[in-house]
């Protein structure tokens, strides 16, 4: 079984029934075996983005408490690589951490609604990152 690394988008979409990717995210959560690996930067982004939903930030923490999502990245140990990724691609901290996680877990797939993981981001400088994307994923605006 492939390691699944989860990005912010599917976490937010699963919790927000009005999100355009909610149904897709719910299907993914139902089909994938936990734990879904992530980094604390993703959890922080997700908690911030669901702050307007009743119990939103607590639901993010509940994913962790129940073992559905597992923070499995030690930034302190990977800071040099993450800094290099951020310099090279001008990506945000969460994306850089996830790209680095995809380098560490070579058998992984990244569960994301961000098509940049398919179209722009590369691991080891040139390798396409395997992704699970919603059919209508569009590049997010910066």
Question: Is the pLDDT higher at 139 or at 129?
Answer: 129
Burial of 110 (C-beta count, 10 Å sphere; 0-12/13-18/19+): buried
pLDDT at 141 over 60: no
What is the reported pLDDT for 142?
42
pLDDT digit string (tens) for 27-46? 999 999 999 999 999 999 99
pTM recorded for the entire structure: 0.92
What is the reported pLDDT for 12?
98
Q: Phi, psi at residue 120, to the nearest 5°?
A: -125, -55
Burial of 102 (C-beta count, 10 Å sphere; 0-12/13-18/19+): buried
pLDDT digit string (tens) for 82-126? 999 998 876 799 999 999 999 999 999 999 998 887 878 888 888
Token digits of residue 103: 């380098």
CA gap 99, 121 in Å, rounded: 7
The DSSP element (H or E) to which 28 belongs, if any, is: helix 22-31
CA gap 35, 63 in Å, rounded: 9
- H-type alpha helices, 32-129: 40-49, 56-65, 75-89, 93-104, 116-119
Are 42 and 76 in contact, with CB atoms under 8 Å apart? no
Give the CATH number of domain 3-132.
3.40.50.1010
């Amino acid at each position: 079984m492939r390691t699944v690394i989860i990005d912010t988008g599917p976490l937010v979409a699963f919790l927000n029934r009005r999100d355009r990717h909610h149904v897709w995210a719910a299907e993914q959560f139902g089909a994938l075996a936990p734990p879904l690996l992530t980094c604390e930067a993703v959890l922080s982004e997700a908690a911030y983005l669901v702050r307007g939903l009743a119990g939103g930030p607590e639901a993010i923490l509940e994913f962790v408490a129940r073992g559905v999502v597992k923070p499995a990245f030690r930034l302190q140990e990977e800071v040099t690589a993450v800094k290099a990724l951020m310099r090279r691609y001008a990506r945000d901290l969460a994306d850089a951490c996830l790209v680095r996680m995809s380098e560490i877990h070579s058998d992984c797939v990244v569960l994301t609604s961000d098509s940049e993981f398919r179209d722009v981001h590369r691991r080891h400088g040139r390798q396409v990152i395997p992704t699970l994307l919603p059919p209508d994923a569009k590049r997010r605006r910066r």
